[in-house]
Copies of this chain bind each other. A is one copy, B any other.
């Protein structure tokens, strides 16, 4: 039976991955490690499974005598206001975290990492294939996140190439949906929480910057298939995201139309906010045939509103 370590399992995406791991019957133990920096213990409240053990610890300091068969490293803040406020802690969680986790991997086991489209920076090609080397300012305000993700990729592919370690690296594009922190700070959740409070929707810059919004249910379907259910050995990197590219302003206008009490206001642009982001899914279509994001943002947003309303006790 398989022993699994899930780092960052109380986070937005991590907790959804925990739900999926609990559906497996080949797993005997799921150790969830989270320091509850941006993750929240409530995100595991739907889980009632004796195989799940929660350990409150920093991923980079967690120790265990177990050698795990499968390790999932999702322990990182993902929201710019959060990681920009604590750049060293962000690098530590990702890079020192990955180094620590590698030491707990059973020989022959697999370590899976959720990297990010931020490795492409403010991309000069659109859409972005995995081979695109990116345009990241390694001295800039977003660099603690971007560069630590890139560095962990280098670490894992180095481990794979030199030591034969089995790795899987997914590059996630923008994800939204239930269990996003209401104070996360990214556009979709911002707009929903603002609309529910009857506040103006805050658009940074002119709103023409585009994103590829993937609903969490779609994204976790892709992760589940890539990480374990499809049986692929492809080490990545693999883009996983929605290739329908939408401007921030369009999302604001849709939410404004649904919640007419919330006008759109424009604030100064965020420094080094990428102007565009869209995954090239050519490789993904080969590795995960038939998978794609099914939920249009209009539906996904409305499906998320109920969760945010309960969460905010409105």
Query: Which of A's residues lie within 8 Å of B, judged by CB?
Result: 84-88, 90-92, 95-96, 99, 102, 119, 121, 133-141, 143-144, 146-148, 150-151, 153-155, 157-159, 161-163, 169, 237
Knowing A86-B162, A95-B151, A96-B99, the reply to whether A157 touches B134 (Cβ < 8 A) is no
Smallest beta-carbon distance A89→chain B, Å: 10
For this complex, 18 residue pairs linking A to B, each with C-beta atoms less than 8 Å apart, are: A87-B158, A87-B159, A88-B102, A88-B155, A88-B158, A91-B95, A91-B155, A95-B95, A133-B138, A134-B136, A136-B150, A138-B154, A139-B153, A140-B157, A143-B153, A143-B158, A147-B154, A151-B151
Does the CB pair B162–A139 fall under 8 Å? Answer: no
For the complex, give the distance between the alpha carbons of A26 and B87 in Å.
33
Shortest distance between the CB of A26 and any CB in chain B (Å): 29
Cβ-defined contact, B154 with A139, below 8 A: yes
User: Is A87 in contact with B155, judged by CB distance below 8 angstroms?
Assistant: yes
Q: Quick check: B162 and A87 within 8 Å, CB to CB?
A: yes
Whether the pair A91, B154 counts as a contact (CB closer than 8 A) is yes
The answer to whether A141 and B159 touch (CB under 8 A), given A92-B99, A95-B95, A148-B151, is: no
Which residues of B sit under 8 angstroms from A237, Cβ to Cβ? 139
Q: How far is the CA of A155 from the CA of B162 in the complex (A)?
A: 26
A157 with B143: CB separation less than 8 A? yes
Nearest opposing residue in chain B for A86, CB measure: B162
Instruction: Name which residue of chain B comes closest to A94, CB basis.
Output: B151
Query: B86, B87, B153: which contacts A138 (Cβ < 8 A)?
Result: B153
Docked CA distance A154–B140 (Å): 7
Are A141 and B161 in contact, with the CB atoms below 8 A?
A: yes
